[in-house]
Amino acid sequence: MELSLRLDQTLVDRARSAAESIADDVWRHIEAHTTDSVERTALRLLGVVGVNEIDVPLVNVVVEQGRDSLASGIIAPFVAVMMDSGMSAQQVAEGIATGTLTLAPVAAERREGVESHAAEIAAGGVARIDAARRRREELVATLSDPVKPWLYVIVATGNIHEDVAQAKAAARAGADVVAVIRTTAQSLLDYVPYGLTTEGFGGTYATQENFRYMRDGLDEVGEELGRYIRLCNYASGLCMPEIAAMGSLERLDMMLNDSMYGIIFRNINMERTFVDQYLARMLNARAGIIINTGEDNYLTTADAFEKGYTVVSSDFINEEFAERAGLEQWQMGLGHAFEIDPSIPDQVVYQIADALLVRQLFPEASPKYMPPTKYMPGDIFMGHIVDAMFNFVGVFTGQETQLLGMLTEALHTPLLQDRYLSVKNAKYVFESCRSLRDEVEIRPGGIIERRANELLGKAAEQLEHVRDVGLFRALEMGEFADVSRDPGGGRGFDGVVKRAEDYFNPFYAALREGRMSGPPVGPTPAERAASRQGGR
Amino acid sequence: MEVKPYGDTRDDGVMQLSFTLPIPNSPKATDVGKQYLEKMGFHDVAVAEVRAIDPGFTFYVAYARTDVSIDPDQVKGDYLDVEEMDYYAINTFIRDDVGHKLVVVGAAIESDAHTVGIDAILNMKGFAGNYGLERYPEIDAYNLGSQIPCEQLLKTALEKQADAILVSQIVTQKNIHVQNLTKLIELLEAEGVRERFIIVVGGPRINNAFAKELGYDAGFGPRTTPVQVASFLAQEAARRQNP
Ligand code: B12
């Protein structure tokens, strides 16, 4: 028996069909535009890395050089120079940076040759992503895959060396996924910093080197524990697709990758974000990365009890955008959260309704359940109990990934011991309540079922309204998170370029060509232990 | 009168402690933790829990007694001294004692993207059943939102001929708020307009004394309500009006 709610199926259908139209409408915009970051991503996938003498990434230097003809895409002129000079992508980028090479528009009669050569090199870039995905499959198969809900924790020291030490400690304590939080305001940088970094505020810079270094650290501890430890980072902000590319190459397993988070919470221009998220998601789709969406955040600026339905609406929208980018259901870590004010009577009962609803609406997806944050008190003892109730709801409603709450949420990013206590809390609650959901039924017509259907009804209504006015206008009207954004405002608007007739970017096709499918499979840690015992 | 922590009996000095040492949990780890607390002046140390939370780290929970006491009357601080009025009284006070509408401009500055705190103070809806400043007929409030560069905040304050500037700083990791807050004051001073405004700052790690040290007129901490802020602004504006 599965714990389940009787939901009004017509509401589910209405919601899905509205979400589909919403995404179709934005789709026309996506297909007609490119952005600075999309073009820089293409260069990264060709193999361009590094910075110039004043720390500007070479991909930024090249895109600046090619700015006048960006509407046609950076790749054709760039590859033309590679062909003429016989140099590698990296050498050409360096040449452009030092001024020895320049980009020029590609003459019409050369286009075909250049494009087919570019497509070949692009396939090579994509092959690097595939290699990372295959490596994950091997590791999961030979180590083991943790039982769900996965215990997901964050590290945020600002210093990648400390982060690695703490991530290893967390894994040893029992964490299955480690996310490295990015430094304050990285999302507003229109370039990706370079190298190993040791100075961040409330998080650590997302750089390709930091990704690799942390990946190695987690592989090491995974080997030691006989359990594959997943790594997560943030593909968000002005460099969303570039960071997604870095994560895809360096075998991250999860990435925060939301179609609207940057718009709502960082005031990044919406035209920019919608174009960027598409490529970012295609990359993650290719890499076998699970994306996480950010609906939980809505409940910090809007009230969780009143506006719980906005999470459901947005999950439907994120699902549609994810599907269009080729993500499979198991790769969709749709967000939701335990953010209702704990002083409301029956709070946990309502949370069960909200959490079960999301689980049931997206049965094949891998929802990510977020902990209480806004109402976490300075009284850490009380906070620890609220987190335990959250863990209870997570295991009871069958969540896939549980982002563990920290007793010190109101104070600081987690200390080593905070994380240890929180893992201990989750392990106790999960193990002690694991079978409960198979033992009970939800009372038909009770508080839980009524609340769930009410949220679903309001979500369907909201989605139809958003469909009628269009998503751009809806964001302007503050439909999500009670935050309103100007379609022509926000950061990064000047980096949105209307595509010309001859726009060329080989990666949109290459990323779809011959994509692998399905999640990695491996034994559970217990199965692995048993088989090793038997083998001896 | 001197006081000590109260555990179970007056002046027993019992405290609850927890911490982590970067050492392996070996047989002597308990003594290391105990003696460490004794070095801090505690006695009757009872180490309740000693756990390896990683090969190189040991976590402790302990109870211990202290002889240190404190006289609350001797504690002097720079606390905000305002008479808290209610919504109606504040509006009347502004009309009668300030004589013009109070113009306030607020923002979470620089890298800070948290808006809930400044919104709680400024937005209509307010906080904890308490209207925000936008609701006050005698206050013209402009909420610029978050991630607002100091330059832009100042520009708006000058344009609107603001009486007060309200700044929010939530992220404090590595003292980034000190950098941001100092930047604003230095900018105002460089432009020669510091004295033109009442400048206040708020956030969960802010208090009045700290704000004053940085050159602000007042600081507001966690769970601040809009009436507290409005009361201060009204009284401070009146004071400046009639020195
Ligand atoms: C919601 C939230 C977010 C949301 C913000 C959404 C939004 N639009 O505001 C999002 C998800 C975007 C977010 C992002 C980040 N966050 Co945050 N966030 C929180 C959270 C959960 C709640 C804050 C909140 O809304 N509190 C409710 C309000 C009402 O309380 P308040 O802010 O204290 O405001 C009151 C008083 O302080 C005062 N006040 C505040 N401002 C002002 C101004 C004036 C003029 C006055 C008079 C009074 C006043 O009055 C208010 C009402 O009483 C806290 C954790 C917590 N429980 O506090 C973390 C927290 C603040 N965040 C934190 C961090 C680190 C971040 C990030 C840096 C993480 C990252 N690396 O990406 C980013 C920051 C990005 C950036 N550029 O700033 C840390 C800060 C740690 C520290 N001490 O520095 C916290 C404590 C979480 C944690 N434990 O790590 N966050």
- Each residue's pLDDT tens digit, A207-218: 999 999 999 999
Q: State how far the alpha carbon of A176 is from the alpha carbons of A137, A143, A258, B71, in Å.
A: 16, 13, 22, 49
Domain boundary among B40, B75, B110: B75
Domain that holds residue B228: 87-241
Chain A, nearest residue to B58 by Cα: A417
Counting every residue, how long is chain A?
A: 536
* pLDDT higher than 90, residue A249: yes
Give the Cα separation of A393 and A416 in Å (integer). Answer: 25
- Check residue A511 and give its pLDDT: 98
For residue B105, being part of any structural domain is answered with yes
At residue A158, φ and ψ (nearest 5 deg) are: 95, -15
Claim to verify: residue B104 and residue B213 sit in the same structural domain? yes
Rounded to 5 degrees, what are φ and ψ at A154? -115, 150
Cα separation of A14 and A4, whole Å?
Answer: 20
- Has residue B7 been placed in a domain? yes
**Contact state of B111 with A185 under an 8 Å Cβ cutoff:** yes
Q: What is the DSSP letter of A67?
A: G
- Whole-angstrom Cα distance, residue B90 to residue B85? 6
Position B158 pLDDT exceeds 60:
yes
ipTM: 0.91
Longest dimension (CA), chain B: 73
Assign A228 to helix, strand or coil.
coil
Using CA atoms, how far apart are residues A154 and A464, in angstroms rounded to an integer? 36
The alpha-helical segments, DSSP class H, found in A362-502 are 380-396, 416-433, 436-439, 447-469, 471-476
> How far apart are the C-alpha atoms of A462 and A479, rounded to whole Å?
8
Tell me whether residues A416 and B53 touch, CB distance under 8 A. yes
Query: Any residues with CB less than 8 A from the CB of A241 and at least 6 apart, and which?
Result: A37, A38, A41, A235, A276, A277, A279, A280, A283
CA nearest neighbour of B53 among B11, B85, B24? B24
Q: Which of A161, A300, A417 to probe by mutation at the B interface, max B CB count within 10 Å?
A: A417
Q: Assign residue B49 the CATH number of its domain.
A: 3.30.30.60
Helix count and strand count (H, E) for chain A? 21, 11
Residues B114 and B203 in one domain: yes
SS (HEC) of A166-210: HHHHHHHHCCCEEEECCCCCHHHCCCCCCCCCCCCCCCCCCCHHH
Residue A165's contacts (CB-CB under 8 Å, 6 or more residues apart) are none
Kindly report the pTM of this predicted structure: 0.95
Instruction: Identify the CA nearest to A270 among candidates A482, A492, A16, A105.
Output: A492
Question: How many whole angstroms from A183 Cα to the centroid of ligand 1?
Answer: 14
Number of domains in chain B: 2
Domain-located, residue B80: no
pLDDT band at A535 (very low <50, low <70, confident <90, very high): low
The CA distance from B234 to B243, in Å, is 14
CB contact under 8 A, A416 and B57: yes
Please report residues of B whose CB lies closer than 8 A to that of A300: 116
CA of A410 to the centre of ligand 1 (A): 8
Same domain, B100 and B204: yes
List CB contacts (< 8 A) between B204 and chain A.
410
In whole angstroms, what is the distance from residue A70 CA to residue A62 CA? Answer: 11
pLDDT for residue A534: 73
Q: For tokens 């100092």, what's the residue?
A: B182
For residue B195, tell me if it sits in a domain.
yes
Contact residues, chain A, for B51 at CB < 8 Å? 420
CB contact, 8 Å: B113 with chain A? yes
Inter-chain contact A417–B147, Cβ cutoff 8 Å? no
- Contact state of A172 with B171 under an 8 Å Cβ cutoff: no
Considering only alpha carbons, which residue of chain B is nearest residue A298? B116
- Alpha-carbon gap, residue A493 to A473, rounded angstroms: 16
Q: Which of the listed residues B45, B75, B105 is the one where a domain comes to its end?
A: B75
A383 CB within 6 A, ligand 1: no
Do B27 and B62 sit in the same domain of this protein? Answer: yes
Alpha helices in A257-368 (DSSP H): 261-266, 270-287, 298-301, 308-324, 347-361
**pLDDT of B65-104, one tens digit each?**
999 999 999 998 889 888 999 999 999 999 999 999 999 9
Is residue A49's pLDDT more than 70? Answer: yes
Q: What is the mean pLDDT of chain A?
A: 96
A522 touching B (Cβ < 8 Å): no
Q: What angle do CA A167, A173, A178 make, to 5 degrees?
A: 30
Q: Is the pLDDT of residue A459 over 80?
A: yes
Q: What is the pLDDT of residues B140-157, one digit of tens each?
A: 999 999 999 999 999 999
Please give the distance, rounded to the nearest whole angstrom, from the Cα atom of residue B170 to the centre of ligand 1: 5
pLDDT tens sequence across B168-195: 999 998 899 999 999 999 999 999 999 9
- Tell me: pLDDT of B242 over 90: no
Same domain, B45 and B111: no
CA of A40, closest CA in chain B: separation in Å? 24
Min distance A424 CA to chain B CA atoms (Å) = 10
HSE value, Cβ hemisphere, 13 Å, CA-based, for A397: 35
The answer as to whether B82 is a domain residue is no
Q: What are phi and psi of B68, to 5 degrees?
A: -70, 135
Question: Is A168's CB within 8 Å of B18's CB?
Answer: no
Pair B38, B94 in one domain: no
Annotated catalytic sites of B, by residue?
Answer: 125
Residue pLDDT, tens place only, A470-522:
999 999 999 999 999 999 999 999 999 999 999 999 999 999 999 999 999 99
Residues B123 and B234 in one domain: yes
- Within an 8 Å CB–CB cutoff, is residue A424 touching chain B? no
pLDDT at residue number A514: 94
A 11-70 residues with CB < 8 A to B: none
**Residue B243 reports pLDDT greater than 80:** no
Domain-ending residue, one of B53, B75, B97: B75
- Count other C-beta atoms under 10 Å from residue B63's C-beta: 16
Do the Cβ atoms of A202 and B55 come within 8 Å?
A: no
Overall average pLDDT of the A162-171 stretch: 96
Task: Decide if pLDDT at A536 tops 60.
Answer: no
Q: pLDDT category, B241, cuts 50, 70, 90?
A: confident
The answer to whether the CB of B122 falls within 8 A of the CB of B130 is no
Nearest-angstrom CA–CA distance, B142 and A379: 34
Mean pLDDT, chain B, as a whole number? Answer: 95
Q: pLDDT tens across B101-143, in order?
A: 999 999 999 999 999 999 999 998 888 788 999 999 999 999 9
CB of A360 within 8 A of CB of A313?
no
Which CATH number goes with the domain that contains B178?
Answer: 3.40.50.280
Closest CA to A531 of A263, A144, A30: A144
Closest-CA residue of B relative to A189 is B111
CA of A474 to the centre of ligand 1 (A): 25
H or E, element range at B219: strand B218-220
Is residue B44 domain-shared with residue B146, that is, in the same domain? Answer: no
Structure confidence by residue, pLDDT tens digits, B190-216 = 999 999 999 999 999 999 999 999 999
**Residue B166: inside a domain, yes or no?**
yes
In short, whether B116's Cβ falls inside 6 Å of ligand 1 is yes
CA–CA gap between residue A97 and residue A85 (Å, rounded): 15
Is residue B32 domain-shared with residue B130, that is, in the same domain? no
**pLDDT of res. A201:** 85
Same domain, B97 and B158: yes
Residues B109 and B227 grouped into a single domain = yes
Handedness of CA B59, B63, B65, B71 (dihedral sign): positive
- Same domain for B34 and B124: no
Of the residues A184, A413, A486, the best mutation for testing chain B's interface (the one with the most B CB atoms within 10 Å of its CB) is A184
Residue B188 to residue A176: CA distance in whole angstroms: 49
Residue B27: inside a domain = yes
Asked if the structure places residue B81 within a domain, the reply is no
Indicate the residue type of A480. F
Measured CA to CA, the distance from residue A491 to residue A266 in angstroms comes to 8
DSSP H helices in A9-85 = 9-32, 36-46, 58-65, 75-85
Among B20, B55, B171, the residue with its CB nearest the CB of A417 is B20
pLDDT tens, position by position, A425-458? 999 999 999 999 999 999 999 999 999 999 999 9
